[in-house]
Structure 1
Amino acid sequence: MGARRHWIWWCLGLAVGLIYLFMIGPIMVVLIAAFSSGDTMEFPPAGWSLRWFAALAGHADFLASFRLSLGLGLIAAAVATVSGALAAYGLVRYRRPCQAGIETLLLAPLYVPRVLIAMALLLVFAKLGLAGSLTGMIIGHALIALPFVVRTMSASLAGVDPAVEEAARCLGATWRQAFVLVTLPLVRSGLAAGAVFAFIVSFTDVYLALFIAGPETITLPLRIFTFMEWEQSPMVAAVSTAQVIVILVVMALAEKTVSLSSAGRI
C-alpha cells in the first residue's frame, strides 16, 4: 500500500510539473530570446546582449503603443472595477427572480469568443462613430474585463456578514457610508484582485484591437502582432519581456498593498 501511494504521489507530482512546464516554458523561451545578440529570434541564443532592449528604448512606435496600452489598461480597469463592484454588490445583497439571467449577462464576455465580441463592438461603434477612438477602446476593454471583477467581488462579498452593514446603518450611517467605510475595507483584497485582473486583460488584449483600433489607438499587443508580420527580430521578445515585467510589477504592488492571496477571505 505504501509503495502504491508513493507511486501515485510521484505521478501527481510529475503531472503538476509538466503542467507548470507547459505554462511557463513558452514564457521562459521568450524571455531568454530577448537577450540574443543575433539579428533573428532564436533559442537558445548564439550570444548574449542587451542590444534589443536598447533598440526598444529608441523605438518611437513601440513606446507610443506602450504608453497607450498602459493608460488604456488603467482607465479600463478603473471603469470595470467600479461598475463590477457595484454589480457584484447588487447580485450578492439583493436577490431577484431574474438574478441568474443578470449574472449570466454580466459574465457573458467570459463565455463568448473574444472575436465575436470584437465583431459586435465594431458594428455598434461604426454606427455610433466610436470605431477607432480611444473612448471605444475603453468601453470595449472595460466590457471584457468586467466579469473578472464581478467574480472576485462576488466571492469576497459573500464572505461579509450583512449584519455588519446593518449595524453600521443602525448607528446612523447612510447606505453609501456603510458601503464605503465598512464593506469596501472588508473586501479590499477582492477589489484589488479584480482590478489587477481587469488591467491584465486590457493590457494583453489583441482581439479587440484588431477590429476596433484606429491609426491613433494601436495598442502594444497589436503593435507586436503587426511587427511580427514583417520582422522576426528579437525586438519582439524584448517588447514581450517588458510587457511581462509590467504585469509582474502591478501584481507585486497589489500584493504588497492589500495581499491578493487573501482575496475572497475576510
Structure 2
Amino acid sequence: MSAGSEIGYIGHFRRLWLYAFVLLALLFLVVPIAIVIPMSFSDSRFLDFPPQSWSLRWYRQYLTSPEWIQATWVSLRMALMACLIATPLGVLAAYAINSRYSSALRRIHVILLLPLMVPHIIIAIGLFFLLARLNLVTSLTALIAANAMMTLPFVITTTLAGLRNFDMSQEMVARSLGYNRFWAFMLVTLPQIKGSVMAGALFSFIMSLDEVIVALFISGGTNTTLTKIMFTALRDEIDPTIAAISSILIALSLFAGLLAAIASRGR
C-alpha cells in the first residue's frame, strides 16, 4: 500500500460508529415491515404480535372473499396498464432530454418530475375536480391515467441513468450506415439500456399497485382498488386480513425490487 493510500485509509475499528448507525437505520426501516408477516399467520380475531397461535385463516379469508379478489384484479389491471403507458412515454422523454439538454428541455424535465415533488394529496384533489368535470371519477380509465402520470418520473429517471452510461456515438454510426433514428434506437440503443428501462417499468408497476391516496379520491364502485379497501377496513375495524394482504404485497414488492436490481446490473 502506498504512502498516499495509507494516509487516506480509515480502519474498520474507527468506522464502528458508522456501521452501528447504518444497522440502526436498517432496523428502523425493516422491523415494522417484518412484524406484519408473523401477524398475518395469527389465528386471533385481532392483530396480535407475537401470535398466540398460528393459522392460515386470514389468507383463506382473503382468497375466498369476492370483494377482496375483485379489488385485487382492479389494482393489477390498473398497475399493468399504467406501466404499459408510462414506460414508452418515459423512455421517449428520457431520450429527448438526453439528446439535447437545452433550457427548454430542462424546464420540461422539471415539469415531468413534478409528481415526485408535489404531495400526493394535492395531486389527488386536483385530479378529483378535473375528472369530476369529465365524468370520469371512479372509472378505470381515470385510475390508469393518474397512475401513469405519477409513475412516469421513475421511468424517466432510470432510463436517463442508462442513457448517460451509453455511448451515443454508436447510434450515430448506425444512422450513418443508413438506419433512421427510430431503427437506430430500437436496434442499437434500446438493447443496451434495456436493463434501465425494465427497472423503470417494474418501479412503475409496483408504485401503481401500492398507491392509495389518489385511489381514495377517484376510485369507487366496481373499480375500487385493493389499497382503498385496505384503508377503509383499517378505519372501520382492525381486520387481520389486511396483514395477510400486506404480507403478499411486501413479498411482491421485494420480488419486483430484486428484478429491478438484476435488470439494472444487466444494462
Q: TM-score range by the shorter chain?
A: over 0.9
SS of the residue 1:160 aligns to: coil
**Any unmatched runs of 5+ in structure 2?**
1-6
SS at match of 2:221: coil
| 1:77 to 1:22, Cα distance in 2 relative to 1, 3 A | same
Tell whether the 8 Å contact from 2:89 to 2:152 is kept in structure 1 after alignment. Answer: yes
Cα deviation digits, residues 117-171 of structure 1 (max 9, x gap)? 1111111111122111111111100011001111111111111112101111111
Query: C-alpha separation between the residues in 1 aligned to 2:108 and 2:12?
Result: 47
C-alpha distance in structure 2 between counterparts of 1:23 and 1:122, whole Å: 32
Q: Which residue of 2 aligns with 1:250?
A: 256
Structure 1 gap ranges (5+) = none
Are positions 1:169 and 2:172 aligned together? no
Structure 1 match to 2:22? 16
Residues 56-135 of structure 1: pairs in structure 2 closer than 5 A: 56-135=62-141
Aligned length: 259
Instruction: Please say if 1:240 is aligned against 2:243.
Output: no
> What's the TM-score, normalizing by structure 2?
0.92
Q: Secondary structure at the match of 1:49?
A: coil
- Alpha-carbon deviation of 1:248? 3.1
Tell me the CA shift for residue 194 of structure 1.
0.5
Show CA shifts across 1:195-217 (max 9, x none). Answer: 11111110000011011112121
- Per the alignment, residue 225 of structure 1 pairs with 231
Mapping of residues 36-55 of structure 1, within 5 Å: 36-55=42-61
d(CA) in 2 for partners of 1:33, 1:225 = 18
Give TM-score scaled by structure 1 length: 0.92
> Where in structure 2 are the equivalents of 1:187-206 lying within 5 Å?
187-206=193-212
Does structure 1 residue 213 correspond to structure 2 residue 216? Answer: no
Q: For 1:106 and 1:181, how far apart are their aligned partners in 2? A: 27
Structure 2 CA distance, aligned partners of 1:234 and 1:214?
23
Q: Give the share of equivalent positions with the same residue, in percent.
A: 36
What is the RMSD of the two structures over their aligned residues, measured on CA atoms? 1.7
Distance 1:254 1:201 in 2: 13
Given that 2:203 and 2:257 are in contact with CA atoms closer than 8 Å, whether structure 1 keeps it comes out as no
